[in-house]
């Protein structure tokens, strides 16, 4: 998922919503300077995940937010950039 994000984006905020898979490990191994990792100790659901990402978005004073889900649940309607 991370490698498919366009180079047009300066920052990638990855929120691990309490998953027990290798999400954190993969992000840490592939951590470029534009990746910010947020990890929840338990699952907060879609709303909590988006809120956590948005907090970083606001703190970093970024301009555009695009929300993607690793399970392709959200981006079905997002056009290519």
Among 24, 54, 56, which Cα is nearest to 41's?
Answer: 24
Are the C-beta atoms of 17 and 44 separated by less than 8 Å?
A: yes
Query: How many folded domains does the chain comprise?
Result: 1
Per-residue pLDDT of 20-37, as tens digits, reads 888 888 888 876 778 889
Are the C-beta atoms of 67 and 47 separated by less than 8 Å?
A: no
Task: Show the domain range for 44.
Answer: 2-72
Phi, psi torsion values for 13, nearest 5 degrees: -100, 120
Higher pLDDT, 33 or 48: 48
Residue 28 covered by a domain: yes
Residue 32 covered by a domain: yes
The whole-chain average pLDDT of the chain stands at 81
Asked if residue 77 has pLDDT above 70, the reply is no
Interval 75-79 mean pLDDT: 56
């Amino acid at each position: 998922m991370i490698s498919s994000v366009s180079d047009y984006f300066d920052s990638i905020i990855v929120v691990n919503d309490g998953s027990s898979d290798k999400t954190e490990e993969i992000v840490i191994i592939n951590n470029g300077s534009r990746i910010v990792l947020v990890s929840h100790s338990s699952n907060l659901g879609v709303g909590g995940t988006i809120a956590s990402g948005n907090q970083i978005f606001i703190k970093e004073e970024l301009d555009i937010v695009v929300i993607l889900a690793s399970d392709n649940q959200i981006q079905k309607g997002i056009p290519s950039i």
